[in-house]
Chains A and B, each alone.
Chain A
Amino acid sequence: MMLMKRRDFLKIGAAAGTMASLYGCAAGNKAGGHVVVVGGGYGGATVAKYLRMWSQGSVQVTLVERNPSFISCPISNLVIGGTKTMEDITVSYDNLQSKWGVRVIQDDVVALDAVKRSVKLAKGGSLSYDRIVLSPGVDFMFDQIPGLDNAAAQQKILHAWKAGPQTVALRQQLESMKDGGVFAIAIPKAPYRCPPGPYERACLVADYFKKNKPKSRVVILDANEDVQSKKGLFVKAWADLYKDQIEYRPNSEVKDVDVASNTAILEFDKFKADVLNVIPPHRAGNIASQSGLKLINNRWVDINWLSMESTGTPSVHVIGDAIFPAPTMPKSGHMANQHGKLAAAAIINLLAGEEPNPAPVVMNTCYSFVDAKNAIHVASIHQYDTATKLVQPVKGAGGVSAARNELEGKAALGWARNIWADMLA
């Protein structure tokens, strides 16, 4: 009796479900299918969790990530400055699997076939998908700095612009540097990942020098003509806190390096450092830039802002640092997380045969430390504009901190704990 009743209920339920989808009814949950997510950083981890959470488990998600755990770029400058450890910025993928039912595969995606809708994995085998989200971050264009275009050079002249072993190695170079030495950081032309990041790093290395190696100096070789983010606040911090430590040189693009002598080669000049930290120009991560997707400036993927879908290649969504950004939008972890949510909502609609949300909103905040305790922020909110088909910054909203302060230092660490949980817990 009970069994009969339950079976009848299921029958009617299924029928109602069919009717609902025929009528495109938004109630109920009929998104199904398999989504592959490539890359488990700020963007990829977020889209994986939110696809599972918002579809109530009806969309299957496989996340392919090459590293065993998530290591955060934001806050990693505090590891380089010596006040945080790698453990503090490392988070496990376990909850994505056990709590959210994401299948996490530790591997690399080496090829994308957008026609067959499948990807090839480095360790062998392939995965097929209904929709795919590429969140590969950036890859460096080492060919732009010929001396750096080999593995040995890259072990010595570090970028530390992806958190991980290079973060630890740069910290070690700073620790072994003699007092009286020079740390030089080279910034590529914009757009690059994390606009305020290099200036924050300069501050935190200077803070370390001030306390531990007071005769040492920091030189910023900026390929850009001016400070790219939070200019007033950084310039004030350099003047107030690091007058004897930090020297800023605009229009100083590094064209090459001499690895043996640790020398940066500029157009008309050379600069020899004890610790040379070169952030090479970058572009969309290889799987996004080398798979035939439509690119802008040959570097960044052109996407549709209603769905984060590649404009030229259906069913391939791209998020995070790999995309050509909307006006004033930085390449940041916070923004990648917001792209991930926009993509998750759109994909669930599309898998159910519905249009994506016609009015998406994303917002950004970047906190930067200017010493071990004091931080500053920049924030912006971007609303979809039907005329330009872009998410445009809202005028009169967002902005920067009034002044550096410890309260925002605490907020920055609180932000980190909450965004990591928003992605991975």
Chain B
Amino acid sequence: MKAFTHAAALCLLAAASTAGAADANLGRNLAATCANCHGTNGKAVPGSGMSSLAGESKANLLQKLADFKSGDKPASIMHQIAKGYTEAQLTLIADYYAAQK
């Protein structure tokens, strides 16, 4: 019985904090839009010339993405891609990749 109430309470808590808000897997879904080039979950095919993003620190990822946006980091395509996402979305993506091992 105790377990029941406990699970329900946790659940209500989770529901309350996300009510009407983002999908619980938004970061995962957004990060998957990068996987075509950087590999599933950010693990690029070795030797393919594309960088892996998995396990890179959030701060590093966000800095590089900001530098692509501003043009400080030279790019063939990433300056155009980074501009397609909001800061909040890039933060979720960086969180997701930083957590991949």
CB distance from A58 to the nearest CB of B (A): 14
**Knowing A24-B15, A360-B29, A414-B49 touch, does A394 contact B83 (C-beta < 8 A)?**
yes
CB distance from B89 to the nearest CB of A (A): 7
A396 CA to B80 CA, complexed, in Å: 8
- Do A381 and B15 have beta carbons less than 8 Å apart? no
CB distance from A53 to the nearest CB of B (A): 8
How extensive is the interface on chain A, given as a class?
35 or more
Residue of B whose beta carbon sits closest to that of A377: B77
* Cβ-neighbour of B83 out of A338, A397, A411 (below 8 A): A397
B4, B6, B32: residue with the most chain A Cβ atoms closer than 10 Å: B32
- Do A358 and B23 have beta carbons less than 8 Å apart? yes
- Do A345 and B77 have beta carbons less than 8 Å apart? no
* Cβ-neighbour of B36 out of A50, A338, A356, A398 (below 8 A): A338
A410 CA to B77 CA, complexed, in Å: 13
**Knowing A20-B11, A26-B18, A397-B80 touch, does A411 contact B89 (C-beta < 8 A)?**
no
- Do A419 and B3 have beta carbons less than 8 Å apart? no
Contacts of A345 in B (CB 8 A): 23, 25, 28-29, 32
Residue of B whose beta carbon sits closest to that of A335: B36
Interface residues of A in 353-371 (CB under 8 A from B): 356-363, 365
- Do A422 and B39 have beta carbons less than 8 Å apart? yes
- Do A341 and B84 have beta carbons less than 8 Å apart? no
- Do B25 and A422 have beta carbons less than 8 Å apart? no
Interface residues of A in 373-425 (CB under 8 A from B): 377, 379-381, 383, 394, 396-399, 401, 405, 407-408, 410-411, 413-415, 417-419, 421-422, 425
- Do B33 and A357 have beta carbons less than 8 Å apart? no
- Do A365 and B37 have beta carbons less than 8 Å apart? yes
CB distance from B28 to the nearest CB of A (A): 7
Tell me if A19 counts as interface (CB < 8 A to partner B): yes
CB distance from B24 to the nearest CB of A (A): 4
CB distance from A188 to the nearest CB of B (A): 27
Tell me if A16 counts as interface (CB < 8 A to partner B): yes
A310 CA to B14 CA, complexed, in Å: 31
* Cβ-neighbour of B4 out of A19, A25, A410, A417 (below 8 A): A19
Contacts of A397 in B (CB 8 A): 80-81, 83-84
How extensive is the interface on chain B, given as a class?
35 or more
Interface residues of A in 1-51 (CB under 8 A from B): 12, 15-16, 19-20, 23-27, 49-50
Tell me if A331 counts as interface (CB < 8 A to partner B): no
- Do A361 and B33 have beta carbons less than 8 Å apart? yes
Residue of B whose beta carbon sits closest to that of A401: B76
- Do A418 and B36 have beta carbons less than 8 Å apart? yes
A411 CA to B35 CA, complexed, in Å: 14
Residue of A whose beta carbon sits closest to that of B40: A422
CB distance from B6 to the nearest CB of A (A): 8
A419 CA to B40 CA, complexed, in Å: 9
Number of A-B contacts (CB under 8 A): 144
- Do B50 and A349 have beta carbons less than 8 Å apart? no
- Do B3 and A15 have beta carbons less than 8 Å apart? yes
Contacts of A360 in B (CB 8 A): 29
Tell me if B30 counts as interface (CB < 8 A to partner A): yes
A394 CA to B85 CA, complexed, in Å: 8
A338, A342, A363: residue with the most chain B Cβ atoms closer than 10 Å: A363
Interface string of A321-365 (1 = CB under 8 A from B): 000000000000010011001100100010000001111111101
- Do A25 and B14 have beta carbons less than 8 Å apart? yes
A411 CA to B44 CA, complexed, in Å: 13
- Do A419 and B15 have beta carbons less than 8 Å apart? no
* Cβ-neighbour of A411 out of B18, B30, B33, B76 (below 8 A): B76
Contacts of B29 in A (CB 8 A): 341-342, 345, 357, 360-361
CB distance from A334 to the nearest CB of B (A): 6
Contacts of B50 in A (CB 8 A): 411, 414-415, 417-418
- Do B23 and A359 have beta carbons less than 8 Å apart? yes
Residue of A whose beta carbon sits closest to that of B41: A53
A337 CA to B35 CA, complexed, in Å: 10
CB distance from A353 to the nearest CB of B (A): 13
- Do B81 and A381 have beta carbons less than 8 Å apart? yes
**Knowing A16-B3, A54-B28 touch, does A408 contact B76 (C-beta < 8 A)?**
yes
A–B Cβ pairs within 8 angstroms, 21 of them: A15-B7, A20-B11, A25-B15, A26-B14, A27-B11, A49-B40, A345-B25, A359-B22, A359-B23, A361-B33, A361-B85, A361-B89, A362-B33, A363-B33, A380-B84, A397-B83, A413-B48, A414-B37, A418-B39, A418-B45, A419-B37
Interface residues of A (CB under 8 A from B): 12, 15-16, 19-20, 23-27, 49-50, 53-54, 334, 337-338, 341-342, 345, 349, 356-363, 365, 377, 379-381, 383, 394, 396-399, 401, 405, 407-408, 410-411, 413-415, 417-419, 421-422, 425
